[in-house]
């Protein structure tokens, strides 16, 4: 031991050197963090489409129940049933595409959101926001193949949903369940 060395000093080994990130990964993390909120918003559109599909399937079930209980008139109601089925299946596909950030859903979802602008006032606000999320510069980046590569490089970065959002989702689902159970109990 040299006389100038302190035996009680903490180790001075550079422990971060083997674990340092390459510049590419550091850049990928910075880009991912920049777009993470927009990514989460785009993916939440997928959940909205899934919820819409569930509502369509429930409506289809009740429509079928009403057709059978009224003696099986399969005319006009069947057309509506097929329309609901098509919308529900389309919603499932769009929801999956948004959750996976698949760029193929941008055009069909854009068309649906443009039509949804006619649902004044709430539908206009929601669909204008959806159009912004899909077609803004950030939306184009989030749907790009380069961003998918960034996601692959940074799997440790996750968006954390707030507690308030979870509570609101639970309340909406509870209200939906109450509405369905009231319909079933009323016997209509």
Model confidence pLDDT, tens digit, residues 4-14: 777 777 766 55
Model confidence pLDDT, tens digit, residues 97-106: 999 999 999 9
Distance of alpha carbon 53 from alpha carbon 93, whole angstroms: 10
- The whole-number pLDDT of residue 11 equals 67
Distance of alpha carbon 66 from alpha carbon 75, whole angstroms: 13
Distance of alpha carbon 13 from alpha carbon 6, whole angstroms: 15
- How confident is the prediction for the chain on average, in pLDDT? 84
Query: Whole-prediction pTM value?
Result: 0.70
User: Does residue 121 register a pLDDT over 50?
Assistant: yes
Q: Mean pLDDT throughout 115-140?
A: 92
């Amino acid at each position: 031991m040299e006389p100038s060395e302190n035996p009680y000093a903490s180790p001075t080994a550079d422990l971060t050197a083997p674990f340092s990130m390459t510049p590419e990964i550091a850049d990928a993390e910075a880009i991912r963090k920049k777009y993470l909120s927009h990514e989460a918003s785009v993916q939440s559109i997928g959940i909205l489409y899934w919820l819409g599909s569930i509502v369509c399937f429930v409506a289809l079930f009740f429509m079928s129940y009403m057709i059978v209980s009224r003696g099986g008139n399969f005319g006009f109601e069947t057309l509506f049933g097929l329309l609901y089925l098509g919308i529900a299946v389309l919603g499932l596909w769009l929801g999956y595409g948004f959750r996976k950030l698949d760029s193929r859903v941008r055009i069909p979802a854009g068309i649906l959101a443009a039509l949804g602008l006619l649902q004044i006032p709430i539908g206009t606000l929601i669909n204008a926001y959806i159009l912004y999320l899909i077609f803004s510069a950030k939306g184009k980046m989030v749907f790009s193949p380069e961003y998918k590569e960034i996601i692959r490089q940074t799997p440790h970065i996750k968006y954390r949903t707030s507690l308030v959002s979870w509570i609101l989702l639970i309340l909406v689902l509870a209200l939906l369940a109450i509405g369905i159970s009231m319909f079933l109990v009323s016997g209509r």
